[in-house]
């Protein structure tokens, strides 16, 4: 089947024809900027708290990250399913299926957000207690999570809406919306924390209010769209077969993310055992390395959307080119950004805290993670290619085994015998390398089968 869908505005992109490298760069660069801006605004949360609310408030934010991801990732996986299917229907020119998919996705986003409100508020304190969160910070952590999860419906709307836009090649408008919301987030942080002395509660409230703005802008964009992804609020519904397909692709991705979070929760619990200063340093280091991950993740998303459109158009030969281009780009991005962070690690960490111990703990983490972070990016790109081709279960099983299970085994064996943070952090690159190799082999096997089906499209 050829790509019969025509671009209806300057923001859409035909990923099935023309040069790949330039289009992947055009697609991914706004995504990188979006992610880096979002992380900058998140970093502003942590910087403001660390500088104006103290070490305990900074430590209070640390345990919330991995725990929040644990709750959210299953539902965020559904947005990946929506992205893959919208890209596939768009690439195949199937307008009725595309319309059903858009309305099913947005309705699912609302329902998912409401479920997360209940889960987050109800389970925040017991989950934080299970993680051995230090007693002097757990109350602040709970307050942050309660407020943060109240905003889940708008967070889901933004992420599902952005996934729909990415699927047709539009990565610019989500960037613009994020810039507006991010500036608002920083201003509200300064007002709530410095002026009103609200601490972590002020940071959480600023985040929720800024997400209301970003979600509103994305939904407005879909409503005003005059093309194939136009949203009509009167047509909001769940089409059962589209939901099933979204679940089939998205739930394995979400479960994979959730299990990653389980392993990260275990690692965070292990970090917690070293005291709140170690937690604060780990939090700062984790936030800084997130800039590398976010930039690499843009190429993962590009891999999903490009492979999805070309799979829908049955242009299988282009999928191999997409894979190698994205892998090369993520390697370059990962090495360069990690190198910059390692060179300026101490000045960067000093933005979060002036305490020498906190800074040293952060340096110790960055030295291990950033040196090998490109492996994580290469692993994620390969998973993205497989998901775009419609393979969700196998990549999930490999990732759960290679990353999650291995990390758990590492914690209860090697780390249990040599209880140092260095040994704990080494589990990351080891699991990335193992998982990437297996995913690569899986892709080569699947692609060989697809080549047999290829009818000669280029």
Render pLDDT for 6-50 as a digit per residue (tens, 0 to 9).
455 567 778 888 889 999 998 888 888 877 777 777 767 777 777
The model's pTM: 0.74
Reference 383, options 293, 329, 302, 316; nearest CA is 302
* CB of 189 closer than 8 Å to CB of 203: yes
Give the least confident one: 130-139, 244-253, 296-305.
Answer: 130-139
**Given a cut of 50, is residue 2 above it in pLDDT?**
no
Q: Is 412 exposed, middle or buried (0-12, 13-18, 19+ CB in 10 A)?
A: exposed
Q: 368 falls in which pLDDT band (50, 70, 90)?
A: very high
- Residue 224 neighbours by CB under 8 Å, 6+ apart: none
Tokens encoding 187:
């201003």
pLDDT at 48: 76
Q: Which residue has the tokens 């609020």?
A: 233
Reference 140, options 150, 148, 186; nearest CA is 148
Domain boundaries defined on the chain: 20-453
Q: Which residue has the tokens 């290679």?
A: 402
**Given a cut of 60, is residue 457 above it in pLDDT?**
no
Q: For residue 375, how far is the Cα from the chain centroid? A: 16
| pLDDT, average across residues 338-354 | 89
pLDDT at 135: 80
Q: 321 falls in which pLDDT band (50, 70, 90)?
A: very high
- In whole angstroms, what is the distance from residue 326 CA to residue 381 CA? 7
Percentage of residues in the chain with pLDDT exceeding 70?
92
**Given a cut of 50, is residue 436 above it in pLDDT?**
yes
pLDDT at 174: 85
**Given a cut of 90, is residue 294 above it in pLDDT?**
no
- 3-state class of 132 per DSSP? coil
For residues 441 and 131, the model is more confident at 441
- In whole angstroms, what is the distance from residue 44 CA to residue 50 CA? 10
**Given a cut of 80, is residue 221 above it in pLDDT?**
yes
- 3-state class of 455 per DSSP? coil
For residue 401, what is the DSSP state?
I
What's the Cα-to-Cα distance from 220 to each of 13, 158, 162, 249, rounded to whole Å? Answer: 20, 11, 12, 27
* CB of 36 closer than 8 Å to CB of 113: no
- In whole angstroms, what is the distance from residue 162 CA to residue 14 CA? 17
Q: 261 falls in which pLDDT band (50, 70, 90)?
A: low
Reference 40, options 422, 370, 351, 409; nearest CA is 351
Helices assigned H by DSSP within 273-355: 276-312, 316-343, 345-350
For residues 170 and 218, the model is more confident at 218
**Given a cut of 70, is residue 385 above it in pLDDT?**
yes
| pLDDT, average across residues 344-360 | 87
Give the least confident one: 25-39, 87-101, 114-128.
Answer: 25-39
pLDDT tens column, 396-434: 888 878 777 888 888 889 988 998 888 988 988 998 999
- Residue 288 neighbours by CB under 8 Å, 6+ apart: 43, 341, 345, 348, 349, 362, 366
Name the average pLDDT for the chain: 85
pLDDT at 54: 67
pLDDT at 1: 39
Q: Is 307 exposed, middle or buried (0-12, 13-18, 19+ CB in 10 A)?
A: buried
For residues 41 and 310, the model is more confident at 310
Output phi, psi for 185, to 5 deg. Answer: -60, -45
pLDDT at 453: 62
């Amino acid at each position: 089947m050829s790509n019969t869908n025509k671009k209806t505005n300057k923001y859409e992109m035909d990923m099935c024809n023309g040069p790949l490298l330039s289009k992947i760069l055009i697609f991914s660069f706004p995504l990188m900027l979006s992610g880096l801006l979002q992380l900058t605004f998140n970093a502003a949360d942590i910087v403001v708290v660390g500088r104006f609310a103290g070490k305990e408030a900074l430590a209070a934010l640390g345990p919330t990250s991995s725990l929040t991801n644990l709750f959210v990732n299953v539902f965020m996986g559904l947005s990946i399913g929506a992205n893959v299917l919208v890209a596939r229907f768009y690439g195949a020119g199937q307008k009725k299926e595309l319309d059903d998919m858009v309305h099913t996705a947005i309705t699912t986003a609302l329902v998912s957000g409401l479920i997360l409100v209940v889960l987050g508020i109800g389970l925040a304190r017991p989950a934080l207690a299970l993680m051995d969160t230090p007693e002097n910070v757990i109350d602040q952590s709970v307050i942050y999570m309660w407020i943060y999860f109240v905003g889940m419906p708008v967070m889901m709307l933004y992420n599902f809406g952005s996934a729909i836009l990415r699927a047709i090649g539009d990565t610019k408008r989500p960037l613009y919306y994020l810039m507006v919301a991010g500036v608002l987030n920083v201003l509200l942080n300064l007002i709530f924390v410095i002026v009103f002395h609200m601490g972590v509660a002020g940071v959480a409230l600023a985040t929720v209010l800024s997400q209301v703005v970003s979600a509103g802008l994305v939904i407005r964009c879909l409503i005003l769209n005059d093309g194939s992804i136009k949203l009509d609020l009167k047509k909001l519904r769940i089409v059962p077969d589209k939901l099933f397909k979204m679940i089939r692709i998205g739930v394995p991705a979400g479960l994979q993310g959730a299990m990653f979070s389980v392993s990260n929760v275990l690692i965070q619990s292990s970090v917690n055992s070293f005291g709140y200063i170690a937690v604060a340093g780990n939090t700062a280091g984790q936030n800084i390395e997130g800039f590398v991950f976010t930039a690499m993740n843009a190429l993962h998303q590009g891999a999903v959307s490009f492979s999805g459109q070309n799979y829908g158009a049955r242009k299988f030969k282009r999928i191999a080119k997409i894979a190698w281009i994205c892998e090369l780009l993520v390697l370059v991005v990962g090495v360069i950004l990690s190198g910059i962070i390692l060179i300026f690690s101490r000045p960067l960490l000093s933005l979060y805290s002036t305490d020498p111990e906190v800074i040293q703990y952060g340096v110790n983490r960055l030295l291990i993670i950033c040196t090998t972070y490109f492996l994580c990016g290469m692993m994620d790109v390969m998973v993205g290619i497989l998901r775009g081709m419609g393979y969700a279960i196998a990549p999930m099983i490999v990732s759960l085994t290679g990353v999650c299970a291995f990390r758990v085994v590492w914690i209860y064996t090697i780390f249990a015998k040599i209880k140092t943070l260095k040994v704990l952090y080494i589990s990351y690159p080891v699991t990335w390398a193992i998982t990437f190799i297996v995913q690569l082999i899986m892709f080569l096997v699947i692609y060989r089968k697809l080549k047999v089906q290829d009818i000669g499209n280029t």
